Structure 1
């Protein structure tokens, strides 16, 4: 049974994540669509199956997400150079720009929030990073 720390920490982390997600350049994209764009800009081109696995969704669900991104001109599909039967999905320049602007907006928001903290609060956050990373990577 969760104790008070479990509840408070979980809820606090969810609220921080929500506040970060709200800082986006384009409000028309869903979180899952933006996540796929982030993956494509960070890791390069990918197949539908690999994207679905990375995002922990079914291939039909990923296909709907990719179709929406394609309709917006944010991704392209092409034949894989290694295997012409496979379709390679890549972010367009417009998609890359959207991700870059969202990253900049989120970084600016977070930096402004951190700037308002005391030196003691900065030290506490710095000390908590290894524990938070352990939880995030578990």
Structure 2
């Protein structure tokens, strides 16, 4: 948990909360979604997601478009600005982790390489 928390702090835009960054990452990974779908994926209440989407839209990081089948809903998608910010944050986190990894022994690095597929599986369960 401590490593995860420290890793989350390695982001480019300090004004965004971890939840807001997570919403952008979900949109980048899964594609466009309704606010309700995003709320379910992020485990937040729909009114909270509505506020998050409005804030992200105000910063130019997402855009809302009419739902193609249901005019009562909107579809949220990330912008190019969000993609660039996520990539820059990813590069920053990777550099930070690489710096940490330099202090590990060859044996410790070997253990990490063996554990990586298991950790990846756990992350996607």
TM over 0.5: yes
Structure 1, unaligned runs of 5 or more: 1-13
Match of residue 96, structure 2, among 81, 105, 109: 109
For residues 1-138 of structure 1, what are the structure 2 equivalents within 5 Å?
A: 14-133=1-120, 135-136=122-123
State the number of aligned residues: 125
RMSD across aligned C-alpha pairs, in angstroms? 1.7
Equivalent position SS for 1:46: coil
- 2 CA distance for matches of 1:107 and 1:66? 27
Structure 2, unaligned runs of 5 or more: none
**Which structure 1 residue ranges, 4+ long, deviate > 4 Å from structure 2?**
133-138
Report the TM-score when normalising by structure 1.
0.81
Equivalent position SS for 1:49: helix
Pair 1:78–1:31, CA change in 2 (3 A): same
Pair 1:131–1:90, CA change in 2 (3 A): closer
Report the TM-score when normalising by structure 2.
0.89
